[in-house]
Chain A
Amino acid sequence: MAKELLSLDNGTICSSWNYSDTRLATGSIDGTLSIFDLRDSTSSTSNSLRSTFKTKVHEGNIVKIVWLLPEYGDAVACISADGIVSLLEEIVEDSKPLQWKLCKTFGSSASKVLDVQFGISLSRLKMVAAYSDGHVRVFELLDPLELTNWQLQAEFQNVIESVSSFGKALSLSASISLNPQKGGSQESSFLVGFNSNTPELNSSKVWEFDQAHQRWLPVAELALSEDKGDQVYAVAWAPNIGRPYEIIAVATHKGLSIWHLGLNPDHTGRLSVERVALLSGHEGAVWQMEWDMSGMTLATTGDDGMVRLWQSNLNGVWHQQAAFEPTS
């Protein structure tokens, strides 16, 4: 049962729904951010979206929009094609009316931001950003009510052996996925993979914050030894509602891999990994992967323009459950 919710202007190239699926943010090639609101989320029949705000954020394309967590208000991060991240929030200031306000920008033309994700750990909002030079930076919000004050907490490259540094790395894209667990008081972990010219940077790695040494450590690498240099298109960490292991999806040119990640570290601090499936479907690159809220169904889309759904059957065998083909 498919239903059209909204038509968007010419030039719109990305969109993102907020936590409750009641607001939609869209970005376009001329740098315009638009916000749409569901008129009434409680009524099922007349959930029509109306445009509530429009502003030019940037000169170039907005290629990706990420909503911040609702604990920090209604705010989005817009990533532009030239690697600038603009943070905007909806706020009433002084006696001015409600409006979206730019509160912070990250990145520069020299070191472009490719992807950002937000998560809460130790009761603080963290922003993980992946840069075109292969660096990952973790920022921390200092004041929970002010999205302007961020502090750089850590900076590192996506490599297992931290002794080597790759100065000339050039990345086309990167994908970050935070462990979606809701325990805000715990230290979070995240997953990042690159699509770069430096093989060592590419493979998806799970990073965890080591309290004792106050630094981020790689605790797992999600690639078989022969695949470690493969460029990563997208990663997605599945919500875990009670499984004794984590499930992670990684897309490379070889296909879509589903990984099981152990919950408890071994004596070296590493988490056990097992690739449980390698699936083929999209020809070429995978654009996006999204897990449903139970972490049982994965939806993907890619170069072939299809939307594909993946599930595991009762015997734990992953397979493509269905596909959708856009037709006019």
Chain B
Amino acid sequence: MSPDAVGNGALIPFSGETNDSLAVYPLHHGLARPISRVALSWSRGNSLRVSLFAEPSGSFDTGDGAKVIEVKLGGGDPEIDDADWRRIAYGSVAPFALLQSRRNSLSALSKSSYHLDWWEHVLQYSKDISSLLTGPKLAPNPIIEDPNEIVTKNEEPTCLKAAWELMEIFYVDKQSQAWLPEKLVDWLADYDSLFTSTQETIHGKLVDFQNDLVNIQVIEDDPRYWEVMSSALSVGWLDIVVKMLRLHGSYQIDQLSKRELENGLVEAVAVLISKMPRLRPESAAGNLGECFKSKPDFTKAWEKWRSQITKLDCSPYWIQCDNQQTREGLRNMLQVMLGNTENLCTASCYWIELYVSHFLYIRPFTTGIESMYNLAQKCIQLKTPTGTHRLTGLMIGILAENTEVVIAEISREFGPWMVAHAVELLTSGSEEAEILLHDERYNLGGISMVELHRLAYAQVLSSHALTWQIAPIYLTSCMKQGMGLLENLLYRQSVQHNNLLLKNIEICRLYELDHISSNIMKVAGVYHWKHGRKGAGVFWLQQSQDTNCLDRIAQQLFDSVGKSISDESFKQWEGLIELLGSESKPAGGLEFLHKYRDFKKSLQMVYSGKSTDAARQAVGSLILLMKNPSTPQRFWLPLLFDSLKLLNWKDSPLLSVSETNLLLNKLQELSLARQRPHFTEPNLPPQALSSIRLALATNLGRAILDE
């Protein structure tokens, strides 16, 4: 395992066994001085932010003093790039959600969790997922077919898809259980090339041979021609073998010597190969071989076919064929078809190829996973692997029927996406795996392995800005701890961007997380309030029904009563009173604030226009305010001080005698109140009280004269 790549899946959480050899990864920082301190912070999901601080140096221009590095842990399969991963992540949401909803509706219908046709739903799911895993398309096939083109492929195979299909074959596709060996043959045909990375393969040999083909004069004289053909034959690539046989020199018309007999033998083998009976419903269009669905039919055809091979093998024509290469090559192929272990062993490159050849030529009736496992053991002994491939571990785990090993393998090699989605395959129809994976464990904090792996996958999704929004789908399928993690995830989303904020609130609404959305809205409210967007602040605080903060804001509005405020801030203040509305709890206080706003408004008109009408209106408001019992006593003096201009109105006294008396009485009350403890002096100039008294007295005098 390369310690350089953190993303290679080595940090997949929750492997079954404990690794004794600890993986140590370098963290490159490029700082010149030694590190004196490290700080950690988990970001969302499984991304860890590490700050590395260098020892401070005396002079201040010695370059960077610290680095902040983000490390994403356990990303998954290095074979697939980030963008492709996201495509797969998004694509798998719908099949996953559909399967969950089917499970829920089925379990609502009946108590038993085991359904006979459940595997059909899982198969559909498996096919949907599998279609996502298709690698990048290669260049389209040329229009004019190259006769020398032996190996063709339309897409780049990926280990991920190979692993997925392997699990589908063994766990899900119940219909094909009877011809499971043939499924393996097809699987190997699709994915043999993947093994080329760690060992020699038949596919690799074929490709090499094809590359050399143009340089070969007489193909049948090249020993590799025969070698490659018997290899391809051993794993059942009949089309390729027949195509290669037809490249044999004896087919060419301009022959120097008579080669009819030789050609006849080549063609006889080609015919036998194309007539090979296969125990399978049908093969892909155009593929050679004869398919039989039922065992008796197949057995009959198989016996007949083998007797034809034996007959040809004993034929006297071989002696008359004077091309030794052709004779030996063809007879070797007949031995492969007759299932000669030695020939099969030589023809195949590694144990899975040998394994598949056993199914084709020796034991086409192998059934039962146990005998398949024993056969695999035998093949491994015959062909000791030179290197380990990520797919072989999985295959052995499947054959050994060890669900834990399978989980550990796919988790280590393919990452959390694979495990979270593949557990559906593992549990389909196997009650044993179902119990193992759905059993709630105290050691895991009371959750099942299925839930654990979904949580782990959701963590991976959460750590990326483009995928966190699909994490809730997986989290809500977790019965025990999904909601808890979802709450933490939502709580950690920034409220600064309105779009994101609305999205978060929408997710909360979908999953009925009212307390979280209320919290998010409160955070948004305080954020806007503190950042000077008071209106947005009040709006969000109201949405979150945070009476605590709203009360405080109302209180702050009270505090500006009586202070001279600029037009600008008055507008803001007025807007806030509007926003707070009358629904807010301190209703009495707000009633006052609304009245005070009216008073302030007309007072401003007085200051700007000096119209007596406006002044009269202002006086009306003032009297209303002073009469109203909800007007706090502490505001009386500031209100009167604000109204000094009205009290001293030049043209005529604006207040009647009784009105003036009311105000004077209030002043009297105030001077009594001042004797009591806890009285707070309003923040007014020292001469305020006397100037109010004087103004009121003057007004009273003028009013008496007027009446």
Q: Does B194 contact A (CB under 8 A)?
A: no
- Taking a contact as CB atoms closer than 8 A, the residue among B67, B75, B484, B494 that contacts A241 in the complex is B484
The number of residues on chain B lying at the interface, defined by a beta carbon within 8 Å of a beta carbon of chain A, is: 109
A182 to B484, CA, bound (A): 10
- Taking a contact as CB atoms closer than 8 A, the residue among B17, B32, B496 that contacts A22 in the complex is B496
- Taking a contact as CB atoms closer than 8 A, the residue among B27, B68, B497 that contacts A307 in the complex is B27
Among A283-302, those with CB < 8 Å from B are: 287-288, 290-294, 296-297, 299-301
What 0/1 readout, one digit per residue, does chain B (465-481) give for beta carbons within 8 Å of chain A?
Answer: 11000000000000011
Among A1-34, those with CB < 8 Å from B are: 1-17, 19-22, 24, 26, 28-29
- Taking a contact as CB atoms closer than 8 A, the residue among B10, B465, B487 that contacts A182 in the complex is B487
A11 — which chain B residues lie within 8 A by C-beta? Answer: 56, 60, 65
Nearest chain-B residue to A299 (Cβ)? B40
**Distance to closest chain B CB from A5 (angstroms):** 5
A72 to B549, CA, bound (A): 10
Interface-side segment among B525-533, B585-593, B685-693? B525-533
Q: Does A44 contact B (CB under 8 A)?
A: yes
- Taking a contact as CB atoms closer than 8 A, the residue among B6, B464, B531 that contacts A2 in the complex is B6
B23 — which chain A residues lie within 8 A by C-beta? Answer: 322-323
Instruction: Let me know if B527 and A74 touch, CB within 8 A.
Output: yes
What 0/1 readout, one digit per residue, does chain A (208-242) give for beta carbons within 8 Å of chain B?
Answer: 00000000000000000000000000000001111
What 0/1 readout, one digit per residue, does chain A (39-73) give for beta carbons within 8 Å of chain B?
Answer: 00111100101000000000000000000001111
What 0/1 readout, one digit per residue, does chain B (20-32) give for beta carbons within 8 Å of chain A?
Answer: 0011111111111
Q: Does A268 contact B (CB under 8 A)?
A: no
CB contact under 8 A between A41 and B41, given known A243-B446, A297-B13, A297-B46: no
Instruction: Let me know if B65 and A9 touch, CB within 8 A.
Output: yes
Q: Does A305 contact B (CB under 8 A)?
A: yes
- Taking a contact as CB atoms closer than 8 A, the residue among A41, A291, A314 that contacts B443 in the complex is A314
- Taking a contact as CB atoms closer than 8 A, the residue among B18, B56, B484 that contacts A10 in the complex is B56
Classify chain A's interface size: 35 or more
Q: Does B553 contact A (CB under 8 A)?
A: yes
B5 — which chain A residues lie within 8 A by C-beta? Answer: 1
A49 to B69, CA, bound (A): 12
A-B contact pairs, 30 of them (CB 8 A): A1-B6, A1-B72, A2-B71, A3-B69, A5-B70, A6-B68, A10-B62, A10-B63, A12-B53, A12-B65, A17-B41, A21-B41, A21-B492, A70-B495, A145-B549, A241-B484, A242-B481, A292-B459, A297-B73, A299-B42, A307-B48, A312-B443, A314-B441, A314-B449, A319-B18, A321-B13, A323-B24, A323-B25, A326-B38, A328-B28
A321 — which chain B residues lie within 8 A by C-beta? Answer: 11, 13
Q: Does A89 contact B (CB under 8 A)?
A: yes
A21 to B48, CA, bound (A): 11
CB contact under 8 A between A287 and B67, given known A322-B11, A327-B28: no
CB contact under 8 A between A71 and B73, given known A6-B68, A328-B30: no
Instruction: Let me know if A294 and B459 touch, CB within 8 A.
Output: yes
A314 — which chain B residues lie within 8 A by C-beta? Answer: 14, 16, 441, 443-444, 449, 452
**Distance to closest chain A CB from B2 (angstroms):** 13
Q: Does A320 contact B (CB under 8 A)?
A: yes
Specify which of A4, A182, A292 lies most central, judged by the most chain B CB atoms within 10 Å of its CB.
Answer: A292
Instruction: Let me know if A21 and B49 touch, CB within 8 A.
Output: yes
- Taking a contact as CB atoms closer than 8 A, the residue among B19, B35, B484, B497 that contacts A305 in the complex is B35
B252 — which chain A residues lie within 8 A by C-beta? Answer: none
What 0/1 readout, one digit per residue, does chain A (77-105) give for beta carbons within 8 Å of chain B?
Answer: 00000000000011110010010000000
**Distance to closest chain B CB from A24 (angstroms):** 7
Q: Does A313 contact B (CB under 8 A)?
A: yes
B273 — which chain A residues lie within 8 A by C-beta? Answer: none
For the complex of A and B, list the 5 residue pairs with the smallest distance between their C-beta atoms, beginning with the closest: A241-B484, A92-B532, A316-B443, A243-B445, A10-B65
Q: Does B64 contact A (CB under 8 A)?
A: yes
**Distance to closest chain A CB from B474 (angstroms):** 13
Among B499-552, those with CB < 8 Å from A are: 499-500, 515-516, 519, 522-523, 526-527, 529-532, 548-549, 552
Additional 17 contacts, C-beta under 8 A, given A12-B65, A299-B40: A2-B70, A5-B69, A7-B67, A11-B56, A19-B492, A42-B500, A71-B523, A91-B531, A98-B532, A145-B529, A145-B552, A182-B487, A244-B445, A287-B37, A312-B444, A327-B28, A328-B31
Instruction: Let me know if A322 and B63 touch, CB within 8 A.
Output: no
Instruction: Let me know if A4 and B68 touch, CB within 8 A.
Output: yes
CB contact under 8 A between A14 and B13, given known A19-B491, A240-B484: no
Nearest chain-B residue to A321 (Cβ)? B11
Q: Does B604 contact A (CB under 8 A)?
A: no
- Taking a contact as CB atoms closer than 8 A, the residue among A146, A243, A297, A324 that contacts B50 in the complex is A324
B527 — which chain A residues lie within 8 A by C-beta? Answer: 70, 73-74
A20 to B493, CA, bound (A): 5
CB contact under 8 A between A328 and B50, given known A71-B523, A291-B42, A311-B14: no
Nearest chain-A residue to B489 (Cβ)? A293
Nearest chain-B residue to A147 (Cβ)? B530
A231 to B526, CA, bound (A): 40
A7 to B54, CA, bound (A): 11
Instruction: Let me know if A44 and B466 touch, CB within 8 A.
Output: yes
Instruction: Let me know if B18 and A322 touch, CB within 8 A.
Output: no
B480 — which chain A residues lie within 8 A by C-beta? Answer: 242
CB contact under 8 A between A2 and B488, given known A14-B37, A14-B39: no
A49 — which chain B residues lie within 8 A by C-beta? Answer: 68
B499 — which chain A residues lie within 8 A by C-beta? Answer: 42
- Taking a contact as CB atoms closer than 8 A, the residue among B19, B464, B487, B492 that contacts A44 in the complex is B464
A47 — which chain B residues lie within 8 A by C-beta? Answer: 465
Q: Does A151 contact B (CB under 8 A)?
A: no
Instruction: Let me know if B69 and A15 touch, CB within 8 A.
Output: no
Q: Does A144 contact B (CB under 8 A)?
A: yes
Q: Does A325 contact B (CB under 8 A)?
A: yes
**Distance to closest chain B CB from A146 (angstroms):** 8
Specify which of B17, B66, B67, B489 lies most central, judged by the most chain A CB atoms within 10 Å of its CB.
Answer: B66
Instruction: Let me know if A290 and B484 touch, CB within 8 A.
Output: no
Instruction: Let me know if A123 and B49 touch, CB within 8 A.
Output: no
A245 to B444, CA, bound (A): 11
Instruction: Let me know if B57 and A20 touch, CB within 8 A.
Output: no
**Distance to closest chain A CB from B305 (angstroms):** 50
A172 — which chain B residues lie within 8 A by C-beta? Answer: none
CB contact under 8 A between A5 and B68, given known A90-B531, A316-B443, A328-B32: yes
Instruction: Let me know if A320 and B22 touch, CB within 8 A.
Output: yes
B41 — which chain A residues lie within 8 A by C-beta? Answer: 15-17, 21, 290
CB contact under 8 A between A242 and B56, given known A313-B14, A328-B28: no
CB contact under 8 A between A292 and B27, given known A1-B6, A8-B65, A242-B481: no
**Distance to closest chain A CB from B408 (angstroms):** 9
- Taking a contact as CB atoms closer than 8 A, the residue among B48, B493, B530 that contacts A91 in the complex is B530
Instruction: Let me know if B488 and A242 touch, CB within 8 A.
Output: no
Instruction: Let me know if B497 and A42 touch, CB within 8 A.
Output: yes
B522 — which chain A residues lie within 8 A by C-beta? Answer: 71
Instruction: Let me know if B18 and A324 touch, CB within 8 A.
Output: no
CB contact under 8 A between A324 and B27, given known A1-B7, A98-B532: yes
Nearest chain-A residue to B499 (Cβ)? A42
B489 — which chain A residues lie within 8 A by C-beta? Answer: 293
Instruction: Let me know if B481 and A324 touch, CB within 8 A.
Output: no
Among B565-617, those with CB < 8 Å from A are: 568-569
Instruction: Let me know if B445 and A242 touch, CB within 8 A.
Output: yes
Specify which of B17, B42, B69, B73 lies most central, judged by the most chain A CB atoms within 10 Å of its CB.
Answer: B42
Instruction: Let me know if A6 and B494 touch, CB within 8 A.
Output: no
B10 — which chain A residues lie within 8 A by C-beta? Answer: 322
A321 to B11, CA, bound (A): 7
A14 — which chain B residues lie within 8 A by C-beta? Answer: 37, 39, 51, 53
**Distance to closest chain B CB from A258 (angstroms):** 12
Nearest chain-B residue to A242 (Cβ)? B481
Instruction: Let me know if A324 and B65 touch, CB within 8 A.
Output: no
Instruction: Let me know if A184 and B43 touch, CB within 8 A.
Output: no
Instruction: Let me know if A144 and B548 touch, CB within 8 A.
Output: yes
Instruction: Let me know if A12 and B444 touch, CB within 8 A.
Output: no
